Amino acid sequence: MKSRTEFIEFVKGADAVIFDIDDTLIRTTHADKLATNSFLTKLNEELLQKNKPILSLSELRTLFQEIKDSRDQKQRIYNVDYPLIEKLFTRLGYDPRGYRNRVCELKIEYTDTFNKNLALYPDVKPFMERIIGKSLAEGGPEADLWPLGIISNGDSYVQREKLARLKIIDKFGSVIISEDLRDNRGKVIEKPNPRIFELSLEDLEAEPGKSIYIGDRVDKDIPGAKEAGIFTVRINRRDGKYSDREPECEAEEPDYKLNSLKDIYKSL
């Protein structure tokens, strides 16, 4: 682990800074929890009104989380979709084919609440304005200090929409989403595969030994970036889904840890 002084010196000489999206720049888990609670509460109230309280609200949340966790990685790129709500209805003993209007309404409730609460972490806007050297409202992707990049696993449109919705997508010189990448066998190239990090460096025309990657997951973000030769930073957001996850091997140990981007922009 580097000292704070060593980290700041590295930052000042960096070629590029690359970020993860969820629970790094954007409060995705926070928005998901609020949206999930909103539509489950509505569903629970409806069941109570019909005298069909199969589960308590707490038990309903537990069941829904179990269903979410049972999906494969590809399906998990969507927080809540129609098949997920249909599975919930099935587990509750209802044939979703007879409740399609209600499934649509619940999906809308989730989506509207999620989008309403989707937000940047408070330190992101001042960080980017310090790096870009202008107000975010002025637009323009060019950074005064470093080019900025994004690397994220998941569906290309789902992930890009988050950046676009929060009006920061054009601040990045490179946006790489795993769904867009395939190897020679047609397999998705995703974190922690070092190749996805190498492609970002190529886009940004940056040297790995002078680049920084910042992410929240020690299992996905750190090993691949380290293998690609990039300086790794684990940012631990308190409301992040993986905030309690600790490194399980040397490959998951970051070069530096942050709780806030303030440690970077206030030192420049």
- H-type alpha helices, 119-155: 124-132
Query: Is the domain of 137 the same as that of 259?
Result: yes
Distance CA 199, CA 222 (A): 16
Secondary-structure percent of the chain, ordered helix, strand, coil, rounded to 5: 50, 10, 40
pLDDT at 74 exceeding the cut of 90: no
pLDDT of residue 1: 85
pLDDT of residue 135: 42
pLDDT at 203 exceeding the cut of 60: yes
Condensed to tens digits (0 to 9), the pLDDT of residues 232-254 reads: 999 999 999 999 999 999 999 99
Query: Is the domain of 111 the same as that of 215?
Result: no
Percent of the chain with pLDDT over 90: 68
Condensed to tens digits (0 to 9), the pLDDT of residues 12-64 reads: 889 899 999 999 999 999 999 999 999 999 988 887 776 666 688 899 999 99
Question: CA dihedral in degrees (156, 160, 161, 164; nearest 10)?
Answer: -160
Query: Is the domain of 22 the same as that of 53?
Result: no
pLDDT of residue 48: 72
Q: Determine the structural domain holding residue 108 and report its residue range.
A: 30-117
Distance CA 124, CA 25 (A): 6
Query: Is the domain of 9 the same as that of 128?
Result: yes
Residue at 229: amino acid letter: G
Q: Looking at the 3D structure of the chain, how many domains does it have?
A: 2
Rg (CA), the chain: 20
Between 266 and 94, name the one with better pLDDT: 94
Distance CA 165, CA 161 (A): 6
Query: Is the domain of 163 the same as that of 260?
Result: yes
Condensed to tens digits (0 to 9), the pLDDT of residues 78-135 reads: 578 899 999 999 999 889 999 999 999 999 999 999 999 999 999 999 998 887 654 4
Percent of the chain with pLDDT over 70: 90
Classified as helix, coil or strand, 129 is: helix
Are the CB atoms for 252 and 232 separated by under 8 Å? Answer: no
Question: Phi/psi at 130 (nearest 5 deg)?
Answer: -70, -40
> Which residues are CB-contacts of 141 (< 8 A; sequence separation ≥ 6)?
170, 171, 172, 173
Q: Residue 227 belongs to a domain with what CATH number?
A: 3.40.50.1000
